[in-house]
Amino acid sequence: MSFQAYLTNIEAKTGKSPADFRAYAAEKDWLADGALRRDLKAGTVVADLKEQFGLGHGHAMAIVALLKGAKREGEA
């Protein structure tokens, strides 16, 4: 499954776009200079995304990758 397919499935499940997840991360103080803070453990973010949005582990990790800037919307 491509990264974009993960994002499409996440949006279909949650109604939240990648921009919505970036805004959520900013509200949670997870970002520094527009990317996920280096001192923040991925597991913390994953657990929150699972609880708040009902995401599975793989989909939550896709959001972590998006927030880290490792992957961008539209990438395969």
Distance (Å, whole) CA 22 – CA 45: 12
13, 32 contact by CB (below 8 A): no
C-beta atoms surrounding 43 within 10 Å: 10
18/64 Cα distance (integer angstroms): 11
**Cβ(46)–Cβ(61) under 8 Å?**
yes
pLDDT of residue 71: 62
Residue-level pLDDT, tens digit, the chain, 76 residues: 788 898 999 999 999 999 999 999 999 999 999 899 999 999 999 999 999 999 999 999 999 999 998 666 655 4
pLDDT of 72 reads 62
